[in-house]
Amino acid sequence: MMGNFGNKRKPISEQVYADSEVWQCSTCAVWSRDEFIYIENPACPMCRGDMERVTKSIRIE
């Protein structure tokens, strides 16, 4: 029988996802939640590309 050997990791739990409105860059992989964007037509902070509003499934824990 094998013991735990001092493994103090958290038990694996089921990940919970929810659909959320986000702004996603059309050029690169950057995205931001809608509640953190305060202007009508934001530009990507990394590449200055256009951002579009989409629904993304994000993990909430």
Q: What is the DSSP string of 31-52?
A: EEEGGG--SSS-B-TTT--BEE
pLDDT at 1 exceeding the cut of 60: no
pLDDT at 2 exceeding the cut of 70: no
Residue 1 lies in a domain: no
pTM for the predicted model, two decimal places = 0.69
Residue 52 lies in a domain: yes
Residue 11 neighbours by CB distance under 10 Å: 4
Which two structure tokens, joined as six digits, stand for 58?
Answer: 């994000």
Residue 22 neighbours by CB distance under 10 Å: 19
What pLDDT digit, counting tens, does each position of 4-53 carry? 666 677 667 788 999 999 999 999 999 999 999 999 999 999 999 999 99
Residue 11 lies in a domain: no
pLDDT at 3 exceeding the cut of 70: no
Query: Which phi and psi angles does 34 have, rounded to 5°?
Result: -60, -35
Residue 6 lies in a domain: no
Q: Into how many domains does the chain fold?
A: 1
Residue 48 lies in a domain: yes
Give residue 24's domain range.
17-59
